[in-house]
Structure 1
Amino acid sequence: MARVVCLHGVGSQQLGEEQLLKDWLPALQDGLTRAGAPGLLGSGDVAMAFYGDLFLPPRRTLAGADPFFSAPDVEPGWETDALMAWWAQAAEVEPQVMAPAAEGTLGGISISVQSALIALSQSRFFAGLAERALIFDLKQVRRYLTQPGLRAAARARLRALIGADTVAVVAHSLGSVVAYETLCALPDHGVRALITLGSPLGIRNLIFDQLDPAPADGIGAWPGSDTLSWTNIADRTDIVALVKDLRPRFGARVVCQLVPNGSHAHDATHYLGKRETGAALSAVLR
């Protein structure tokens, strides 16, 4: 089994294990080099747990693209609340993004949804991401949290790659939720380090309160033995990682660090190539 198992985030449904590793492995190597620990990983030491295909629609004639979503497809409840949270965070960290205004409706569509999509189109964070892709990403997170079969299948992809040789799990974005829940459900696993990048795990109501296992008295379960280290790394302007400090949610043992990822704040390879990621990984690879 691989020494390091990686887990991608949303928006990867059209890719696959090898395509993702082609970008992730060099970035991991760069992070180790920045941390003064080059040469600790070979290509066979890293595996990618791929679950993106679980979000693809069923096969049908002449269907190859993702669904064409627009504002009316943003469902009330979780999806609208998450979109509004992204909007509020974007307005807070990016001056060019207008702040949320009053609620209302226009033609049966919530003004807040339409306004949020328009506002987020001005965000550097979502630059180059079409409206349909943004909504598809939103729905991926909601589906993971609300569809037990999909949730179990995603966790099974990671569980199948964790073996006696696995010392670290590196997870980005929604993948950090999958990784956390999988490790919590694995009795006596030998993983020594969990590294979460751009993670939404700390967002109350939307993510944290929906976790399995459920938090007890406002504190999430620790995803391993007392010797497991957990490093959470976030960019200050990463809108998905709305809560940067996970310690109030999961305890003081979580090491939380901020890194500058530039205009692509949520990009996985930007996170992987940082010294902080390399240092957390090299600590268990040496």
Structure 2
Amino acid sequence: MTRVVLVHGIAQQLKGPETITEAWLPSLNDGLVFSGSDTLPRQDVSVAFYGDLFRRPGHRGLGEPPLDASDVEPGLEHELLLAWWQAAADAEAPVPGPDTPARLRTPHVVQRALNALSHSAFFAGLAEGAMIGSARQVRRYFTEPEVRRAAGERLTRAVTGETTVIIAHSLGSVVAYETLCAHPHWQDLTLITLGSPLAVRGLVFNRLRPAPTGDTARWPVPVKRWINLADRGDAVALIKELAPSFGTRVHDLTVNNGAHAHDVRPYLTARETGLVLAEALG
């Protein structure tokens, strides 16, 4: 009996639905405990997993060819990296911003962005290729129709007649929003978005389907309640409040995730998330 469906975000291509469940469910239950509620059994939760759509096929060489600044494609990939750079610099004093004078050895703006992001809490410890790969997954979702369609189909298959809550993180909130809009016959669902980039103009908002009308996006018909949670230091959730773009029915909440602002686990353990989930589950 699937009461809660989880939709993951970027950089999950080497995992699977069981791995995601194993990582998410304890944090989800911690949030419920902190809110004074009962925990969820494993059978009540399923994952709409689409990360494998971004997994590279095997080949005869050793390892994967590393990505570097020269591999960043113009347009969305380039713009995303620069936007993350600016957001990380705004939130974290140690991260040099785009206005910081460049050293001669790193004059390329993308390379400067990658160097700066490597000092941020969100991207700390990630190789340049992983950062580029994260931006590439967002670009591929919006520009490759087969990827977009397949991701939505994964969520469609996960939702059952017993489903009451969809919890979506990062890029997963885009998958959830578009899939909910495409299924107006679904009813009485609560949508919980975590670290969502949905309201980021130019990069995400204007690329949504159905297309927004002016400054306002369509409300997903099956959703009776939408709660959006964001950490102020989350570089992916560049716009923290969704209500101005999706309607005043969205309830925006701020949480504190500590040093790992975009990590899904502190989002799930937050008492605010537990309270919302417990109310939705009755």
TM-score when normalising by structure 2: 0.95
After superposition, what is the alpha-carbon deviation per residue over 1:200-252, rounded to whole angstroms, capped at 9, x for unaligned?
A: 00100000000011101221111124x61000001110000000011111011
Structure 1 portions without partners, runs of 5+: none
Q: 2:273 aligns with which of 269, 272, 277?
A: 277
- Structure 1 position 101, deviation (Å): 3.4
Q: CA deviation at 1:59?
A: 3.6
User: How far apart are residue 122 of structure 1 and its match?
Assistant: 1.4
SS of the aligned residue for 1:82 comes to helix
Deviates more, 1:214-223 or 1:195-204: 214-223
Name the amino acid aligned to 2:271. Answer: R
One-letter identity of the residue aligned with 1:78: L
Residue of 250, 260, 267 corresponding to 2:263: 267
Aligned to 1:48: 47
Pick from 130, 143, 154: which aligns with 2:140? 143
Question: Letter of the aligned partner of 1:143 in structure 2?
Answer: R
Question: Aligned pair in 2 of structure 1 residues 219, 66: CA closer, same or farther (>3 Å)?
Answer: farther
Asked if 1:16 corresponds to 2:16, the answer is yes
Distance (whole Å) between structure 2 residues aligned to residue 67 and residue 254 of structure 1: 43
Measure how far apart 1:271 and its partner are. 0.4
For the residues of structure 1 that align with 2:85 and 2:129, how far apart are their CA atoms? 16
Question: Is 1:25 aligned with 2:25?
Answer: yes
Cα distance in 1 between the residues matched to 2:183 and 2:107: 42
SS of structure 1 residue aligned to 2:158: coil
Shift of 1:60: 3.0
Counterpart of 2:196 in structure 1 is 199
Change (3 A) 1:211 1:62: same
Q: Equivalent of 1:180, from 174, 177, 185? A: 177
Q: Secondary structure at the match of 2:126?
A: coil
The residue aligned with 1:246 is 242
Return the offset for 1:152: 0.1
CA distance in 1, matches of 2:144, 2:107: 25
Matched positions, count = 281
- State the partner residue of 1:70: 68
Question: Residues 49 and 191 from structure 1, CA distance in 2 versus in 1: closer, same or farther, beyond 3 angstroms?
Answer: farther
Match of 1:166 among 151, 163, 167: 163
| Equivalent pair of 1:56/1:66 in contact (CA under 8 Å) | no
Give the letter for the 2:48 counterpart.
A
Amino acid paired to 2:273: T
Query: Structure 2 CA distance, aligned partners of 1:188 and 1:176?
Result: 19
Structure 1 residue 84 displacement after superposition: 0.8
| Corresponding position: 1:237 with 2:233 | yes
Q: CA deviation at 1:62?
A: 4.5
Which whole-Å CA distance do the structure 2 matches of 1:193 and 1:202 have between them?
Answer: 19
The range that moved more, 5-14 or 189-198, is: 189-198
Q: Quick one: distance in 2 between partners of 1:205 and 1:110?
A: 26
8 Å contact from structure 2 (residues 80, 203) kept in 1: yes
State whether residues 8 and 174 of structure 1, in contact with CA within 8 Å, keep that contact through their aligned partners in structure 2: yes
Percent identity over the alignment? Answer: 50
Quote the residue 1:92 is aligned against: 90
Q: Verify the 8 A CA contact 2:184 2:220 in the aligned structure 1.
A: no
Runs of 4+ in 1 over 6 A off after TM superposition: none
**Where do 1:109-124 residues align within 5 Å?**
111-124=108-121
The AA in structure 1 aligned to 2:30 is D
8 Å Cα contact 1:102/1:112 also seen in 2: no
Partners of 1:96 and 1:150 in 2: CA distance: 36
TM-score norm. by structure 1 comes to 0.93
Q: Is the 8 A contact 1:198 1:234 kept in 2?
A: yes
Q: What displacement does 1:67 show?
A: 4.7
Could you tell me which residue of structure 1 aligns to residue 57 of structure 2? Answer: 58
Q: Read off the aligned partner of 2:21 and give its amino acid letter.
A: L
Give SS of 1:233's match: strand
* Deviation for aligned residue 1:13: 0.4
